[in-house]
Structure 1
Amino acid sequence: MGALSREKGKRGEREVAAIISDLLGVSASRRVRQHDGDSDILGVPGWSIEVKRWSLLVPHEVNRAWAQAVEQAQRDGGIPALFFRANYHPWRVMWPISVLLTMQSAHMWVEPQWAAQTTPEAWAAVARELLWRQAHEPRS
């Protein structure tokens, strides 16, 4: 990966961390020291967040990035969320619609056809609801 591409990725991660911090009121930040399999954004409990920036949006690249997000989320024990955008386009977020049905990641539907592609604001509404449930529902 070239230096320009790495810088573009870092800028994208900082943008997403700022968007998440603003929408959720959390202190989201980019992971400075990344290793293969680490999520890109820290500070969002229960979520494993991957960030991708492309020059052009190509559907198979989104599906490949989604597979990466799912794999790292399964390792982290979080819910996958893929923030992505192409140059000159707004951010989109891909996340499993099964989180609306269950909080149990073992039953999560993670294939691309069972994932929503929404605005960051729509994702944040779901994330806020899940964070509220985690904080207020009795533990068994």
Structure 2
Amino acid sequence: MGAFSRNKGARCERELCALLRDNLGGDFSRNLKQYQKAQEGDIEQLVGPYLVESKSHATLNLKSWWGQIVAAASRHELRPLPCLAYKVPRKGWRFRVPIPQAWESGHQWGRELTYTMDLSPDGFFLIVREHKG
């Protein structure tokens, strides 16, 4: 990955951390270990029950990105739910999370992109605030 891509990714992660802090409170920071170890989320802390991966790219590659965060969540010691936070140019942030019934089925198909929900930031913040953990 080149310096431009790393810098763009870091800006995206910092922006997402600020968005999370402003809307959920708490302390959210970039996961700096992600560059040393593969399959880590981009945000150091869990966001409610979610391990978050962030992306900012003009061309959406949701299937690949979703596979990346599902793999990271499955390797995490706390077994969090995956969350893909992605910024669409000139449109803003979106959050993709698993449909609870599909994820809780325990079947492999429940981990596929088809069985996810695409949420606005306000929808995602509502789910996190209402999460009973």
Fold in common (TM above 0.5): yes
- Aligned partner of 1:19: which letter? L
Match of 1:14 in 2: 14
Q: TM-score, with normalisation over the residues of structure 2?
A: 0.85
The unaligned stretches of length 5 or more in structure 1 are 135-140
Separation of aligned partners in 1, 2:51 and 2:33: 16
CA contact (8 A) 1:57 1:85 kept: no
Separation of aligned partners in 2, 1:27 and 1:103: 27
In structure 2, relative to structure 1, the CA distance for the partners of 1:23 and 1:107 (3 Å cut) is farther
Question: 1:110 Cα deviation (Å)?
Answer: 2.1
Query: Once the two structures are superposed, what CA deviation does each residue of 1:31-64 show, in whole Å capped at 9, x if it has no partner?
Result: 122121111002224311000111x233xx1110
Report matched runs for 1:121-136 at 5 Å: 121-130=122-131, 133-134=132-133
Separation of aligned partners in 2, 1:103 and 1:123: 17
Match of 1:114 in 2: 115
Separation of aligned partners in 2, 1:105 and 1:37: 24
Match of 2:62 in 1: 62
The unaligned stretches of length 5 or more in structure 2 are none
Question: 1:86 Cα deviation (Å)?
Answer: 3.2
- Aligned partner of 1:18: which letter? A
Match of 2:49 in 1: 46
Q: TM-score, with normalisation over the residues of structure 1?
A: 0.81
SS in 2 for 1:49: strand
CA contact (8 A) 1:78 1:105 kept: no
Give the aligned length. Answer: 127
